[in-house]
């Protein structure tokens, strides 16, 4: 049974940190996610204005994996609304909600198994802090002191994944800053 307080707290948090944006609650992509995260949903957040990002935020990872009231949800930013974004977020949630050894955290990478969108060179996700959303977006709390972090699924290339493994997360993030990447551009070139 999904934790209604956790879901309500997440929705309230999204409304307060993204005021005025339309937020739909939609099911994840069809498949076995319900086995690992019963009641799993995605909050699909419409752009604030033309050219702004679509956001997809998981709801249900916290319930499936929390320990001592602390857990994680994830978000993906995209240039347009597309079913593959829902599939990607669902797939990552399924992985995260599996065995404990699969828990995702900052700095981890996850293969997508295909180009992120279109024929993008980005075929992995880097789990990152939600830098573009601001620090107030990252953590939300609710009754009894339970809380969750919202981490970013940032599309990256295989070369960037390999660089992170060799050079570290901070070095890769510095390259992203130096090259001023557009994180929602499926056609962006690798910084490595």
pLDDT tens-place string over residues 33-44: 999 999 999 999
Residue 190 lies in a domain: no
Q: What is the pTM of this model?
A: 0.96
**Token pair of 42, please?**
């995605």
pLDDT reading at 2 higher than 70: no
Residue 189 lies in a domain: no
* Chain mean position to CA 167: 23
Residue 10 lies in a domain: yes
Give residue-wise pLDDT tens across range 103-129.
Answer: 999 999 999 999 999 999 999 999 999
Q: Which of 78, 83, 85, 86 is nearest to 40 (CA)?
A: 86
Give the structural domain span for 123: 4-179
Q: Which phi and psi (to 5°) does residue 73 adopt?
A: -125, 170
Residue 186 lies in a domain: no
Give the pLDDT mean for 158-175: 97
pLDDT reading at 1 higher than 90: no
**Token pair of 167, please?**
């050079």
| pLDDT, position 145 | 87
Q: Looking at the 3D structure of the chain, how many domains does it have? A: 1
The answer to whether the beta carbons of residues 92 and 74 sit under 8 Å apart is yes
Q: Which of 133, 49, 45, 44 is nearest to 87 (CA)?
A: 44
* Residue 21 burial (C-beta neighbours within 10 Å; 0-12, 13-18, 19+): middle
Give, to the nearest 10 degrees, the angle between helix 169-179 and helix 158-167. Answer: 130
């Amino acid at each position: 049974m999904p934790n209604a307080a956790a879901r309500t707290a997440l929705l309230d948090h999204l409304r307060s940190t993204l005021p005025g944006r339309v937020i739909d609650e939609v099911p994840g992509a069809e498949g076995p996610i319900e086995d690992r995260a019963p009641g799993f949903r995605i909050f699909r957040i419409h752009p604030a204005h033309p050219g702004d990002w679509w956001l997809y935020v998981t709801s249900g990872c916290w319930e499936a994996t929390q320990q001592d009231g602390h857990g994680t949800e994830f978000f993906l930013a995209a240039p347009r609304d597309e079913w593959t974004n829902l599939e990607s977020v669902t797939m990552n949630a399924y992985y995260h909600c599996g065995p404990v050894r699969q828990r995702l955290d900052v700095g981890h990478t996850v293969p997508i198994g295909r180009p992120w969108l279109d024929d993008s060179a980005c075929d992995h996700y880097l789990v990152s802090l939600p830098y573009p959303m601001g620090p107030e977006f990252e953590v939300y709390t609710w009754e009894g002191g339970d809380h969750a972090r919202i981490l970013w699924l940032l599309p990256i290339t295989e070369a960037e994944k390999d660089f992170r493994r060799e050079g570290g997360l901070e070095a890769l993030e510095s390259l992203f800053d130096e090259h001023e990447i557009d994180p929602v551009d499926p056609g962006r070139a690798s910084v490595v």
